Structure 1
């Protein structure tokens, strides 16, 4: 089974500049069926409530201990464990005890529909905006084969890794291509360099895999 690898091509503390840069790369491979998804980790009740007000269509889910609800039907689990849209979130602060951080997501939306609102409300929280169903072109002159399966652009907000496991004071743009390893080398990396160069960018770090 194949998967992707994502190369960092731009980094800045300026969120507006990060968005404009990522859009240049996204537009290079955008198709009519392309989509965008957003996600964030919210570490306080106040932040959950603030983001829920700004993103009423978001889906919010809290943490649960492994096996905590084994055998318990979904409808009998706490709302935050099962997950709920903003209007269905519990009002009682006690409902959030042991459930933080709360993950917020809004998936598979039309490109251009949610990026600005999500970026405006992210604040200091770690999050990501991911554009998918793109199509990178063939480049016969360089013997590069195009790609439509493992194609995406990700904007990491307040983080530098796809795992979103470390906070940062800047934002990073990642360009995704198919991962193809031969003799320990990523054979598709030259194509990643070519893609970045088409919009005036360059690879600034090692590829990231999940």
Structure 2
């Protein structure tokens, strides 16, 4: 089993500009089976309701309460939106959100170009990401690196600077992913990440991040 590591290559307070940069990088690695997934966290009731109107096609899930997934509780007795509902299925009563925030949002494996613009326009101040996966990075023979596809991804993070969503930010960051090849604390494929960024006129602007 192997993992990926992600390098930040572009950062801006303009979400539309960040999306354009991410798309340029994605197109550089585009191949036949590429797809795109959306993820977000909505940390207030108002943000959740707003997202349900602007991004209704994704799956919304509230946080579980302690012991809620006890095997003695029939699955069908769990709140539907704990398992996952579309925007129209979210509770209308604010009291239903007590202990359930943040609400997770997910829309996986969509056709490239079908969801990115609406998500960028609708994310607002919430944290979230667009992730393009199943890309194909080319060879860099002058550096001695073979291309890769298993870990070739591009991620655009909104309103946070970390893949764990634990550092809020006022800007948006584009990451490129490569294979995590850590040898004694040194990332052996970091020069390859720099090379990939340079092909699109970008630069690695920070340390690698693991998920």
The TM tier, using the shorter chain, reads over 0.9
What TM-score does the superposition give when structure 1 sets the normalisation length? 0.96
Compute the displacement of 1:80 (Å).
Answer: 2.4
Check whether the contact 2:45–2:97 (CA below 8 A) recurs between aligned residues.
Answer: yes
Q: Aligned ranges for residues 161-176 of structure 1 at < 5 Å?
A: 161-176=162-177
Q: Which runs of 5+ in 1 are unaligned?
A: none
Q: Which moved more, 1:188-197 or 1:36-45?
A: 36-45
Contact 1:36 1:109 in 2 (8 A): yes
1:185 is displaced (CA, Å) by 1.1
- TM-score w.r.t. the length of structure 2 is 0.96
Once the two structures are superposed, the pairs formed by residues 92-171 of structure 1 within 5 Å of their partners are 92-171=93-172
| Matched length | 210
Structure 2 gap ranges (5+): none
How far 1:64 moved relative to its partner?
1.3
Cα-to-partner distance string for 1:91-118 (whole Å, 9 max, x where unaligned):
2222211111101111110111101100
> Residue 61 of structure 1 contacts residue 81 of structure 1 at CA under 8 Å; is this kept in 2?
yes
Q: Does 1:3 align with 2:38?
A: no
Q: Mean Cα displacement is larger for which, 157-166 or 73-82?
A: 73-82
Aligned 8 A contact 1:44 1:101 in 2: yes
Could you say which residue in structure 2 is the equivalent of 1:50? 50
